[in-house]
Amino acid sequence: MDWRSAILAGPAMLVTVAIVQGSVPREAGAKMLVSRDRVVDTIGGGHLELRAVEIARAMLQDGRQRHLERFALGPSLGQCCGGVVHLAFELADPGHASLLNERRFQDSWRLVALDGRADSALLDGDARQLHGAPAPRFDRSQPTHVMQEADGRRWLVDPVLAPRAHLVLFGAGHVGAAIVRALAHLPCSVTWVDERDDMFPTDVPANVTLEACDTPEALVASAPPGASYLVMTHSHALDQRLAQAILARADVGWFGLIGSVTKRRQFEHRLLERGADRKRIDAMVCPIGLPGIAGKAPAVIAASVCAQLLTVWEASAHAGAGLAPLRLVASSNM
């Protein structure tokens, strides 16, 4: 359960990293939810988090709704990172949380007044009002920050963005299920595809959409530009059809195919015979996973592949252009 879902369970304070300076445990926008008896998510742990929990629970006790506090991590809290963090405390709004849960795959903006009336607003990615009080104009080019109006009133401006990384996962076997579990709390969305509806578990993470489809290749065509693809079905023939469909797209962010070096060579030969581009075949990642991790238990493969995906997604995010074009090198751990 993340902070959006946890808000619906009862009164709680939402704590947001509003401003960061120097070396700090978490980035601006990191959150945790504090109720009287539990804490959901984290702003980095240590003395800072302990102090934030104390303040949040005192606010719940006293009935205070908003607060912004500066913490010098070295001098005041004895934390070795030594930077400065400003934390925004707000009484969580179930109405906003419910809408944010519905909008997990759409960009939203939260604006929370830190002074004066306890106003808050929820807007869509284009700054159109969805819920709450009228919001002042704000800069959508910045990450989470605190803005000040001409009259001195301060607002927390907090983007709640849909995951930029999207994985289309073909195959609901043991390894596929382990990968879905491993990705449950990572910054991505997953379309999980299999022909066999009964292979999917009853409960799946909030970032996963199930697709029981007799023609899985159709899901390749409908995937967003720059998506990542991971193929691990029960059938080598289906794996090959999916590989051919994926390699036919020019806007693939990443493509991984489970299997051995021998399987890769067989697929290379067959794909070339069917007219696939040599450069795109070379970029196909097979075997999958990080070099040096040889274990074949589903949980081991999942950990290795998810770490591999994170390296690709983070590099693409740092490049500032969404998911990267097809540009990968095959590893050789299986």
Residue 76's pLDDT is what?
62
Find, among 189, 243, 182, the residue nearest to 216 by Cα: 243
* 140 within 8 A of 109, measured Cβ to Cβ: yes
Residue 38's pLDDT is what?
94
String of DSSP letters for 31-98? EEEE-SS-EEE-S--HHHHHHHHHHHHHHHHHT--EEEEEEETTTTT--TT--EEEEEEEE--HHHHH
Mean pLDDT (the chain) is 90
pLDDT over threshold 80, residue 323 = no
Q: Could you read off the pLDDT of 88-147 as tens digits, one per residue?
A: 999 999 988 999 988 988 999 999 999 999 999 999 999 999 999 898 999 998 999 999
- Stated as kind and residue range, the H or E segment containing 176 is helix 174-183
In the chain, CATH 3.40.50.720 covers 165-319
Q: Could you read off the pLDDT of 237-268 as tens digits, one per residue?
A: 999 999 999 999 999 999 999 999 999 999 99
Taking the complete model, does pTM exceed 0.85, yes or no? no
Q: Could you read off the pLDDT of 5-27 as tens digits, one per residue?
A: 888 888 999 999 999 998 888 99
| SS3 assignment for 148-175 | ECCCCCEEEEEEECCCCEEEEEECCCHH
Within 10 angstroms of residue 165's Cβ, the number of other Cβ atoms is 24
Q: Could you read off the pLDDT of 209-229 as tens digits, one per residue?
A: 999 988 999 999 999 999 999
Instruction: Give the fold, CATH level 3, of 165-319.
Output: Rossmann fold (3.40.50)
Within 10 angstroms of residue 331's Cβ, the number of other Cβ atoms is 19
